[in-house]
Chains A and B, each alone.
Chain A
Amino acid sequence: MILRVEKLNKRFGGIHAVRDVNLAVEDRQLHAIIGPNGAGKTTLVAQLSGQVKPDSGAIHFLGADITRLSGHKRARLGLARSFQITSIILPMTLLENAMLAVQSVCGHCFRFWSPLAADADVRELAMRALAEVGLEGRAGVVAAHAAHGEQRQLEVAMALALKPKLLLLDEPMAGLGKEESAAMIALLKRLKGATTMVLVEHDMDAVFALADTASVLVGGRIIATGSIGEIRANAEVQRAYLGESA
């Protein structure tokens, strides 16, 4: 088991955003977290990646307790994430963005003198990460000028460049058109099996196409968890979530 979450709680004033959440993610599986708007998905992701500290409960990653660990240390342990709102360095090219991710894994970033652009190893690894998401032909484009779908793919490439043990994807389909969505689903399908993933997603087609297992979050609580087939068949899930959106 790669990720184990026990009785996680978070309150913001009177709002109990996450209540007694338990999660277990197995190696090389894709676990989806679904739920309607305001279900607490964002808060849960923020707690898993370290932006928000839980009030109580524990998060175990690769057997270590990371509940109180800062975000950048979790990333170093191999917990990479993508953001719901595209989060890249806009004035840099796609390649430069990917190179940042690569240099993070290579370490030694207190280097003040030699230009990064001349570092062939970093460049090579960054190109490979871009190639994995099909962006190798767009390496020289400034990120701000790239299409929205490309920016989302770049996010995945940057996360992949970290060689993560667990990839936390926060609504990777958000804002994507039909074709771009299909491309993203195809990309995640390719990655499946090699990388363990937690997919927080609104798009039910994507979830049913990709997930091995899923948990349903409603009102901060996990109301069902199981294989994707079980979730699809679960009457409570139908009522709470799938029925209303379908």
Chain B
Amino acid sequence: MTPVSRSAGVYALIVVLLLAAPPVISFTGQAFYLDLLTRALILAIAVASLNLIVGCGGMISLGHAAYIGIGAYSVGIPAYYEVYNGFIHLGLALACSAAFALLTGAVCLRTRGLYFILITLAFSQMLYFTLVSIDEYGADDGLLIHRRSEFGGALDLEHPAALYYAVLAALLLFLFAMHRLIHARFGRVIFGSKHNDSRMQALGFDTYKYRLACYVISGAMCGVAGFFLGNFTHFISPEMMDWTRSAELIFMLVIGGAGALFAPVTGTAAFLLLEEFLSGWTLHWHLMFGLLLIALVMFAGRGGLHGALMRLDHRPGGPGKR
């Protein structure tokens, strides 16, 4: 057994379990768990998009929930005008989040480190307050979405299992695409720029352009998560893009192990499951939750859950850990 295969085996098992979940859950009659899983997978898409800029590119954004909001409003606002065409919703989600990423990224990426974090935060808060102030779309109360996006006869998102599989398919597609991208020329430039930008420039790379492209890809991907979240909750509100939501995404990524391809899945699942069970157990769960998160980050170390899995493979800090 090669060292990589043990952690790869764990991840493969997770995928199999995810694929098998809906029939198993419907058999046991615990529909609630399918909801929880769907939510986790939607957030995993968002965290995966964050992983692309944070884990691969070293661009720590504290405004990524803005793209969830953009994606969700791309469903909610057309639905408000009784436009339920899913292709329009999804197209809007992709186009608007990519456009927002391009405009804000063009400014943010002039800076680095703390300044970058703060500017991404500022832009997302601007969007948040803009939507809070638009009474037509419900202001802070948000809007109800009466029907989910319609994709013709082939895919009926009103069916919980159909929505679940659509989300899972999107997540796996994104993860595969990211895996390709990271190892392609583009990804190598992004990775190089994360670790040594001045060297990359001295090699003749206009790293700003590459980083901006990466930022736009990440934003568009996160917009898709928003598209699913709006559909899933039947509801949109500015609260979806509150900065604490962005912070939660970072937390999920850190728990999973920033930079590792599969970290968004394990990190999000761990975060939501902890939240769910602790809140069912005690009223003072926030305190417990905080302490557990601290413990998890400290004991799992820098690599999060992925790091712990890699240690299972007896190769700490090996080349597979990115």
Residues of A within 8 A of B (CB): 49, 51, 70-73, 75-76, 80-81, 83, 87-93, 96, 99-101, 103-105, 108-117, 142, 158, 162
Interface assignment of B181: CB less than 8 Å from any CB of chain A: yes
Contacts of A73 in B (CB 8 A): 204, 206
A176 vs B204: C-alpha distance when bound (angstroms): 27
A114 vs B187: C-alpha distance when bound (angstroms): 10
Interface assignment of B16: CB less than 8 Å from any CB of chain A: no
Q: Are B199 and A83 in contact (CB under 8 A)?
A: yes
Describe B's contact surface by its main secondary structure. Answer: helix
Contacts of A83 in B (CB 8 A): 198-199, 202
Stretch at the interface among B83-91, B188-196, B293-301: B188-196
Q: Are B192 and A89 in contact (CB under 8 A)?
A: yes
Which residues of B169-214 are within 8 A (CB) of A?
180-181, 183-189, 191-192, 195-196, 198-207, 210, 213
Contacts A103-B185, A116-B183 known; A88 to B199 CB distance under 8 Å?
yes
* Chain B minimum-CB-distance residue to A96: B188
Contacts A90-B195, A115-B180 known; A101 to B203 CB distance under 8 Å?
yes
Contacts of B153 in A (CB 8 A): none
Q: Are B204 and A105 in contact (CB under 8 A)?
A: yes
Contacts of A75 in B (CB 8 A): 201-204
Contacts of A88 in B (CB 8 A): 196, 199
Contacts of A92 in B (CB 8 A): 191-192, 195
| Total A-B Cβ pairs within 8 A | 98
Q: Are B206 and A89 in contact (CB under 8 A)?
A: no
Q: Are A117 and B198 in contact (CB under 8 A)?
A: no
* Chain A minimum-CB-distance residue to B217: A112
In whole Å, how far is A176's beta carbon from the nearest beta carbon of chain B?
19
In whole Å, how far is B98's beta carbon from the nearest beta carbon of chain A?
15
Q: Are B192 and A110 in contact (CB under 8 A)?
A: no
Which of B180, B202, B210 is in CB contact (< 8 Å) with A87?
Answer: B202
Q: Are B206 and A72 in contact (CB under 8 A)?
A: yes
Which residues of B50-84 are within 8 A (CB) of A?
none
A72 vs B210: C-alpha distance when bound (angstroms): 13
Q: Are B204 and A162 in contact (CB under 8 A)?
A: yes
Contacts of A113 in B (CB 8 A): 180-181, 184
Q: Are A72 and B205 in contact (CB under 8 A)?
A: yes
Q: Are B199 and A72 in contact (CB under 8 A)?
A: no
A116 vs B181: C-alpha distance when bound (angstroms): 10
Q: Are A115 and B183 in contact (CB under 8 A)?
A: yes
Q: Are B202 and A103 in contact (CB under 8 A)?
A: no
Question: Using a Cβ–Cβ cut-off of 8 Å, how many residues does chain B contribute to the interface with A?
Answer: 27
Sample of 24 A–B contacts (CB below 8 Å)? A75-B203, A75-B204, A80-B202, A83-B198, A88-B196, A88-B199, A89-B195, A90-B196, A91-B322, A92-B191, A93-B319, A100-B192, A104-B203, A105-B204, A109-B189, A109-B210, A110-B185, A112-B180, A112-B187, A113-B180, A113-B181, A114-B180, A115-B183, A117-B183
| Most chain A beta-carbon neighbours within 10 Å: one of B180, B187, B205, B210 | B205
Q: Are A112 and B184 in contact (CB under 8 A)?
A: yes
A108 vs B210: C-alpha distance when bound (angstroms): 12
Contacts A87-B198, A111-B184 known; A100 to B203 CB distance under 8 Å?
yes
In whole Å, how far is B262's beta carbon from the nearest beta carbon of chain A?
18
Q: Are A81 and B202 in contact (CB under 8 A)?
A: yes
Q: Are B204 and A115 in contact (CB under 8 A)?
A: no
Known pairs A49-B202, A72-B201, A83-B198. 15 more at Cβ < 8 A? Answer: A72-B205, A73-B206, A76-B204, A87-B196, A87-B198, A89-B191, A90-B196, A92-B191, A103-B185, A109-B210, A110-B210, A111-B185, A113-B181, A114-B180, A115-B180
Q: Are B186 and A112 in contact (CB under 8 A)?
A: yes
Q: Are B206 and A112 in contact (CB under 8 A)?
A: no
* Chain A minimum-CB-distance residue to B180: A113
Contacts of B207 in A (CB 8 A): 72
Q: Are A104 and B205 in contact (CB under 8 A)?
A: yes
A88 vs B202: C-alpha distance when bound (angstroms): 11
The 6 closest A-B pairs by CB, nearest first: A75-B204, A115-B183, A111-B185, A87-B199, A76-B204, A104-B204
Contacts of B319 in A (CB 8 A): 93, 142
Contacts of B196 in A (CB 8 A): 87-90
A111 vs B185: C-alpha distance when bound (angstroms): 6
Q: Are A109 and B205 in contact (CB under 8 A)?
A: yes
